[in-house]
Amino acid sequence: MSHTAPAVKGNKTVYHGVKAVQAMEGHRLRLLFDNGEWRIFDVKPLLPIGRFSELASMEVFKTAKVSFDTVEWENGMDLDPEYLYERSRACDPQDPPA
């Protein structure tokens, strides 16, 4: 997977926060990070794990929203921005969400 490394300031790693999220078909999230980068995160591998199975319902999945600097769903599930950034792939900001 190719992605930009987190920024490093002094001895501290700085991760990017999520500024916008769009729930897409196929259980993917289109994310805008605070560094201006658009990325795609595939949630499908998480669906068999514990409460993440609730996101298998597209109705629940599409409730994704930005909460502070990360993604949260109405059922209370959330994902850290570091996890989202490290496990997503860059996408063209001009590509419309599918």
CATH of the domain at 24: 3.30.2020.10
Q: What is the pTM of this model?
A: 0.83
Question: Are β-strands 12-14 and 89-90 bridged in parallel, bridged antiparallel, or unpaired?
Answer: unpaired
Q: How confident is the model at residue 11 (pLDDT cuts 50, 70, 90)?
A: low
How many folded domains does the chain comprise? 1
Q: Residue 28 is part of which domain span?
A: 19-90
Q: What is the pLDDT of residues 61-97, one digit of tens each?
A: 999 999 999 999 999 999 999 999 999 999 988 775 6
The predicted structure's pLDDT at residue 12? 64
* Residue of higher predicted confidence among 6 and 91: 91
| Domain membership flag for residue 65 | yes
Question: Are β-strands 65-67 and 78-79 bridged in parallel, bridged antiparallel, or unpaired?
Answer: unpaired
| Domain membership flag for residue 51 | yes
**Does residue 70 sit in helix, strand or coil?**
strand
| Domain membership flag for residue 6 | no
DSSP 2-41: --PPPEEETTEEEPPPEEEEEEETTTEEEEEETTS-EEEE
Instruction: Tell me how far apart the alpha carbons of residues 96 and 51 are, in angstroms, rounded to a whole number.
Output: 30
The predicted structure's pLDDT at residue 14? 75
The predicted structure's pLDDT at residue 5? 47
| Domain membership flag for residue 31 | yes
